[in-house]
Chains A and B, each alone.
Chain A
Amino acid sequence: DTGVSQDPRHKITKRGQNVTFRCDPISEHNRLYWYRQTLGQGPEFLTYFQNEAQLEKSRLLSDRFSAERPKGSFSTLEIQRTEQGDSAMYLCASSLDQGTGYFGPGTRLTVT
C-alpha cells in the first residue's frame, strides 16, 4: 500500500498527558499537512511542511502543539498536557508540490 498512513488510528488519553501521532506520507510527496477535524465540521488546517521545513502554522496550533518532519519523510505531531478540547480527528495529507492532497485514515484522539 503506497497511500498515506497514520499511527495510531485511535488514542484514548487522560487529561494532562502527552500524546504523539505519526504520519507517513506517500513516498515521493514533498509536502505534508496536518489538519484537525471535530465532529460535524470540516477539517481545520494546523500546519504544513515542505520537505523538512515547517512553513506555516495556524493560530490554532497553541504552544502545547509541536510538529516535526526531521528528514523530510514522516512527520510527528505532539500534544502536551492534553485538554478535553483536544479531542478530535487528526488528519495528515501529503502532496507533490501544489498537486492534489491525499489524506491518511486519521488518528482519533479522545481525552478523558
Chain B
Amino acid sequence: AQKITQTQPGMFVQEKEAVTLDCTYDTSDQSYGLFWYKQPSSGEMIFLIYQGSYDEQNATEGRYSLNFQKARKSANLVISASQLGDSAMYFCAMREAMDSNYQLIWGAGTKLIIKP
C-alpha cells in the first residue's frame, strides 16, 4: 500500500489564485513528520514546510501553509497568491518515528503549472 498518496499528477492554475495540493498518508506511528518540497525544472529539491504529528497548529511559512487533518491523515499544501515562479513539481514526504534516520517516504509528486 502507498504510504504517501498525491492524487493530482498535474494542475493548471491561474496566476494570483490560491492552490491546494493534496497529500494523504498512511502510518501506524503516533509520532511522525510531514514535509513538502518543491522541485523546479533545474532539479534541486527545495524544502518548503514541515508539520509534526503533535503540532497543534497548522504550519505556515510565508505564502505556504499546511492544512493538517490528522484524523483524515491528510496534509495538503496551500499556496496563496500563486506566482509564475511557483511552477514546479511538488512532493509530499513523511518521516516515521521521530528518532529514526531521515529516510523520507515520498509521494509521486504533483506538477503545478501557473498560467499568466
Contact = CB atoms under 8 A, between A and B. Distances in A.
Q: Do A and B bind each other?
A: yes
A73 B91 CA distance: 28
B92 to A, nearest CB: 9
Given A42-B93, A42-B109, A103 B44 contact: yes
Given A42-B91, A42-B93, A42-B109, A101 B104 contact: yes
Interface in A62-88: none
A101 B43 contact: no
A98 interface: yes
B57 interface: no
Interface of B is mostly: loop
Contacts of A105: 42-44
Contacts of B104: 43, 45, 101
Given A43-B104, A45-B103, A103 B46 contact: yes
Interface residues of A, number: 25
A104 B44 contact: yes
Nearest to A102: B47
Contacts of B44: 103-106
A48 interface: yes
A106 B46 CA distance: 11
Interface of A: 31, 33, 40-45, 48, 50, 55-56, 89, 91, 93, 95, 98, 100-106, 108
Given A43-B45, A98-B98, A101-B47, 4 more contacts: A43-B91, A55-B101, A100-B47, A103-B46
14 contacts: A40-B108, A40-B109, A41-B109, A42-B93, A42-B106, A43-B45, A43-B104, A44-B106, A102-B47, A103-B44, A103-B45, A103-B46, A106-B44, A106-B45
